[in-house]
Amino acid sequence: MDMNQYLEIFIEESKEHLENMNQSLLELENNHSDISLVHEIFRIAHTLKGMSATMGFNKVANLTHEMENVLQLLRSNEIELSEKIVDVLFECLDTLEGYINQIANSGEEGELDSDYLVKKLNQILQGEPESENNSKEEVSSTNESNSNDIHIEVEEFSKNVALKAAAEGFNCYKMQIDLNPNCMLKAARAFIIFNTLEKDCEILKSNPPVEDIEDEKFDTDFELIIISKVDGETIRKRIMNISEVENVLIEEIDVNELNIQAKDIETVEEERTVDTKNKEKDEKKSNKSKKPKLGKTVRVDIDRLDNLMNLVSELIITRSRLEEMDDSGRKHDINEAVEYLGRITTSLHDAVMKVRMVPIERVFNRFPRMVRDLSKELGKEISLVMLGEETEVDRTVIDEIGDPLIHLIRNSIDHGIEDPETRKKHGKPEIGTVKLIAYPDGNSVVIEVEDDGQGINIEKVKAKAIQNGLITEEQAENIDEKEAVNLLFKSGFSTADKISDISGRGVGLDVVKTKIEALGGIVEVKTSKSGSTFTIRLPLTLAIIQALLVNVGMEKYAIPLNSIKEIVTIDAKSIRKIQEQEVVLYRNTTLPILRMNKILQVDSDACDEEDLIVVVVKKGDKTAGFVVDNLIGQQEIVIKSLGKYLLGIKAIAGATILGNGQVALIVDINSLF
Amino acid sequence: MAEKITTTDNQYVLFKLDNEYYGIDILHVETIEKVMDITRVPHAPYYVEGVINLRGEVVPVINLRKRFDLPQVELNDESRIIIISIEEIVVGLLVDASSEVLQFDTETIDDVPNFSDRLKNDYVKGIGKDNERIIILLDLKKVLGNTDTNEEL
């Protein structure tokens, strides 16, 4: 069967499961006694095992199976949860993630090795590493002798109950019940049998499973493992008394033997199937050379899709309405229809946006793990507080925001938060806190990374900036705190020296800034002795923006509204030339004047006019005035890329399609400063 | 040739440029469009005519005459934009005229001789023959590729 069609769903779901597993593991680490978390992790591992085995991803299936074994022991309190086990489970999680990512990229699991993890898991299972070899041998021998007469597998869970039961004087039986082939209501009959048994026995396991028996998914016989104080013959007679029961076989099982057998049979059988499956897969592999490549998917709330659907149908209705209007159509009707059309498109836009919205949780979820690892690595105790995970952001933003946030959080933990002793000395709680806060603010999303560390040492930053030749000593004396902090974002800052030498935070902050600005957002820093806050402000969506359409020469260009400060008219005579740069004194500051027609290589005679229309734009603290020929107006525009071929064209951020089908280019203001 | 026509092997879309016939592999051709409104893109390579709105997608258009350093002519009713797609890059090629699709047997395609100076050999994958006609089969990757050596701004 061709599984490729299910691959996307598989990957999407696996990722979701792994995310949940990650969370549960993190919680488990802090709360070793919470058995429900073990159950949860077990459930996830089990689901993953099933899913991946179906898809033929045996490495995943194998590893999850081994995890299950260990989790099972935890679940039944047979082994104590230790730091080491959690670490191994985390390692397993990482490896599983590796597999899934590999599958997403290439459609195959890749070469990632998990054997050592399996070994580690087995060591946990067996308590001691050296017993490994012995048990392996035992496995093969017991398997051969027992696989024939024991049809029914005993899970660890039942086994433990059986063990306990045996200790309390219960007997454990294996029984096979044959129903009369003419039996009409097999399920009902089985139900009666179960009921009868349950009076003084406990059914540990049935083959086929109880659910299948209830659904009548069995032939005429089924097998059970039960424990009871009553002796086998009595039970047999009791069951035989039920009508339509043809035969009952019952035999006692030695519980202690069961212990070994059950576990080993399971693993060996698994190994066997895995082997054959691997072979099959190898064969298949040689046949299909084409690797599927996967697109990105978004899971969408069905209500949102319905809404979208409704709007589109309304759109179609309106179109018919417009089509039916003949030339005699009154202007009033047309106006009405157009107005209606306008309303629908606005709602449609809204609806489409919502479909693309994803809770920022998706990004946030990976941080608890990162913080855990980092705090272990650095020997600092950190508590991560996350707020507003439900804040929704456009899919495109989600994809891009992860790396900058990782940088910032790393920075906070690495440089911001002091080691426990220093913290104690300063009267701070030993455990440092990093807060990750997200909230919507109008048309943008704000994400804050806040820590209660030592803040940024301005003097050290200055010293380093001088050392790196970013500023002169003279400049250093004159700049204020804010400017000094902004030095951190300078590209030369981080690369020049070793990260560890000063507390100055500068590890790739220039990268963070570049990235955020590329997304149309801004980063700000606030810092004090009691901690710093990095604030990222991002537009809700990257696909649709408000823009000002202007004429430059005969051409139309769009300037993103979020970078526009104001629009003014300036007398051409007031422009002065300083070192080849035109400037004008505007509100007591010098405003550099840039001629749009020169930047965009357009013929235009706007320069000769007396009153110049100037669009004042800002980038951070800097402002500049751009001379345009004419203003057309404000419009919501859909950003389209210029395509791979014209990647990175100077001064142009993209294109948009105007109402008349014409393409207008979007000016990249950020690149012009 | 007749029995092989159902496959797309060696089928080429032909177009005319300054009295020469050129062919591009049909597998890379998406559509052929009449010339529409082209928006100039500043700072783009000189041979990029601009971008068009191809049913909602913004697609760059290369003026092949400029690309091959041929004399410029006015656009007319015959002019076409051939939309090609190669390695995730979608680009339009502005040509003088385009009409037919031809199939060449592999053995009838000749290697590139040392060609006229006007057209750099780089762009040419081979020479196809159709009776008396000579058809220059283009290597699209090279046509799109980096042109630092050829830049004449």
Question: Which amino acid is residue A328, in one-letter code?
Answer: S
Residue B148: predicted pLDDT:
41
pLDDT(A637) > 80 = yes
pLDDT(A558) > 90 = yes
Least confident of A226-235, A399-408, A561-570, B54-63: A226-235
If we measure between CA atoms, which residue out of A392, A563, A410 comes closest to residue A499? A410
DSSP symbol at A416: I
Q: How confident is the model at residue A273 (pLDDT cuts 50, 70, 90)?
A: very low
- A649 lies within 8 A of chain B by CB: yes
Residue A251: predicted pLDDT:
77
Task: Kindly state the tokens that stand for B3.
Answer: 């029995």
Q: How confident is the model at residue A496 (pLDDT cuts 50, 70, 90)?
A: very low
Place of tokens 């392996």: A136
Residue A264: predicted pLDDT:
43
In this prediction, residues B101-108 reach a mean pLDDT of 78
A13 has which bridge partners?
none
Q: Please give, rounded to a whole number of angstroms, the shortest distance from the CA of B89 to a CA of chain A.
A: 6
How far apart (Å, rounded) are the C-alpha atoms in residues A128 and B125? 67
Residue A616: predicted pLDDT:
92
Q: Let me know: does B77 contact B96? Beta carbons within 8 Å.
A: no
Place of tokens 């060609």: B115
The Cα-based distances of A430 to A155, A422, A426, A441 in angstroms read 45, 9, 10, 34
In a domain, residue A8? The reply is yes
Q: How confident is the model at residue A499 (pLDDT cuts 50, 70, 90)?
A: very low
Q: How confident is the model at residue A653 (pLDDT cuts 50, 70, 90)?
A: confident
Among all residues of chain B, which has the CA nearest to that of A602?
B42
Residue to test with chain B: of A595, A602, A646, most B Cβ within 10 A: A646
How many structural domains comprise chain A? 5
How far apart (Å, rounded) are the C-alpha atoms in residues A89 and A24? 11
In this prediction, residues A377-381 reach a mean pLDDT of 82
In a domain, residue A287? The reply is no
Q: Measure the N-to-C terminal CA separation of chain B; round to a whole number of Å.
A: 44
In this prediction, residues A247-261 reach a mean pLDDT of 65
Q: Please give, rounded to a whole number of angstroms, the shortest distance from the CA of B53 to a CA of chain A.
A: 6
Place of tokens 């699209």: B140
Cross-chain Cβ contact A645/B88 below 8 Å: no
Cross-chain Cβ contact A642/B41 below 8 Å: yes
Residue B91: predicted pLDDT:
93
Contacts of A522 (CB under 8 A, 6+ apart): A516, A536, A537, A620
* Residue ranges of E strands in chain B: 11-17, 20-25, 29-34, 48-54, 57-63, 80-86, 89-95, 97-103, 124-130, 133-138
How far apart (Å, rounded) are the C-alpha atoms in residues A393 and A542? 10
Q: What string of DSSP letters covers A290-303?
A: PPP---------HH
Least confident of A240-249, A499-508, A598-607, A657-666: A499-508
Least confident of A207-221, A652-666, B96-110: A207-221
In this prediction, residues A243-252 reach a mean pLDDT of 78
Q: How confident is the model at residue A135 (pLDDT cuts 50, 70, 90)?
A: very low
Residue A402 dihedral angles phi and psi, to the nearest 5°: -55, -50
Q: Measure the N-to-C terminal CA separation of chain A; round to a whole number of Å.
A: 58
Q: What string of DSSP letters covers B81-123?
A: EEEEEETTEEEEEEESEEEEEEE--GGGPBPPPS--TTS-GGG
Catalytic residues of A: 46, 68, 411
pLDDT(B94) > 80 = yes
Task: Kindly state the tokens that stand for A163.
Answer: 């063990």
Among all residues of chain A, which has the CA nearest to that of B88?
A644
Q: Are residues A369 and A515 in the same domain?
A: yes
Q: Are residues A16 and A117 in the same domain?
A: yes
Q: Are residues A121 and A144 in the same domain?
A: no
Of all residues in chain A, what percent carry a pLDDT higher than 90? Answer: 5
pLDDT(B51) > 90 = yes
Task: Kindly state the tokens that stand for A428.
Answer: 């701070």
Question: A537 or A290: whose pLDDT is higher?
Answer: A537
Residue A140: predicted pLDDT:
38
Q: Let me know: does A663 contact A599? Beta carbons within 8 Å.
A: no
pTM of the full structure = 0.51
Q: What is the average pLDDT score of chain A?
A: 77
In a domain, residue A214? The reply is yes
Contacts of A416 (CB under 8 A, 6+ apart): A432, A451, A453, A454, A455, A505, A531, A532
Task: Kindly state the tokens that stand for A29.
Answer: 């680490």
Indicate the burial class of A47 (C-beta count within 10 angstroms; 0-12, 13-18, 19 or more): middle
Rg (CA), chain B: 15
Residue A542: predicted pLDDT:
66
- Classify domain B11-144 at the CATH topology level: OB fold (Dihydrolipoamide Acetyltransferase, E2P) (2.40.50)
pLDDT(A53) > 50 = yes
Q: Are residues A8 and A111 in the same domain?
A: yes
- A638 lies within 8 A of chain B by CB: no
Place of tokens 């948009």: A656
Residue to test with chain A: of B33, B36, B40, most A Cβ within 10 A: B40
pLDDT(A69) > 60 = yes
pLDDT(A550) > 60 = yes
The Cα-based distances of A78 to A31, A74, A126, A160 in angstroms read 18, 6, 11, 8
How far apart (Å, rounded) are the C-alpha atoms in residues A266 and A282? 24
pLDDT(A118) > 50 = yes
Residue A177: predicted pLDDT:
82
pLDDT(A196) > 50 = yes
- B34 lies within 8 A of chain A by CB: no
Question: What does DSSP say about strands A555-560 and A663-667: parallel, antiparallel, or unpaired?
Answer: parallel
DSSP symbol at A455: -
Q: Are residues A458 and A398 in the same domain?
A: yes
Name the residue among A600, A651, A661 with its Cβ closest to that of B53.
A661
How far apart (Å, rounded) are the C-alpha atoms in residues A188 and A195? 10
Among all residues of chain B, which has the CA nearest to that of A556?
B39
Task: Kindly state the tokens that stand for B102.
Answer: 């031809």
pLDDT(A589) > 50 = yes
Which of the listed residues A92, A127, A162 is the one where a domain comes to its end? Answer: A127
Classified as helix, coil or strand, A463 is helix
| Chain length of chain B | 153
Residue A383 dihedral angles phi and psi, to the nearest 5°: -115, 130
Name the residue among B37, B48, B90 with its Cβ closest to that of A662.
B37
Q: Is the ipTM of this complex over 0.85?
A: no
Residue to test with chain A: of B38, B49, B51, B61, most A Cβ within 10 A: B51
Of all residues in chain A, what percent carry a pLDDT higher than 70? Answer: 82
Structural domain of A528? 360-539
Peptide bond between residue A429 and the one before it cis (omega within 30 degrees of 0): no
- A555 lies within 8 A of chain B by CB: yes
- B134 lies within 8 A of chain A by CB: no
A223 has which bridge partners?
A176, A207
- A338 lies within 8 A of chain B by CB: no
Contacts of A339 (CB under 8 A, 6+ apart): none
Q: Are residues A234 and A220 in the same domain?
A: yes
pLDDT(A205) > 80 = no
pLDDT(B71) > 70 = yes
In a domain, residue A196? The reply is yes
How far apart (Å, rounded) are the C-alpha atoms in residues A237 and A428? 74
Q: Are residues A160 and A212 in the same domain?
A: yes
Q: Let me know: does B46 contact A656? Beta carbons within 8 Å.
A: no
How far apart (Å, rounded) are the C-alpha atoms in residues A652 and A673? 13
Residue B32: predicted pLDDT:
92
Q: Are residues A63 and A150 in the same domain?
A: no
Which of the listed residues A62, A94, A127 is the one where a domain comes to its end? Answer: A127
Rg (CA), chain A: 35
In a domain, residue A399? The reply is yes
pLDDT(B60) > 90 = yes
pLDDT(A1) > 60 = no
Residue A665: predicted pLDDT:
93
pLDDT(A471) > 60 = yes
**Other residues' Cβ atoms within 10 Å of the Cβ of residue A142:** 19
pLDDT(A265) > 70 = no
Classified as helix, coil or strand, A593 is strand
Residue A25: predicted pLDDT:
85
In a domain, residue A271? The reply is no
Q: Are residues A557 and A663 in the same domain?
A: yes
Q: Are residues A606 and A566 in the same domain?
A: yes
Name the residue among B43, B59, B90 with its Cβ closest to that of A649.
B43
Give the highest mean pLDDT range of A253-267, A492-506, B22-36. Answer: B22-36
Residue A607: predicted pLDDT:
62
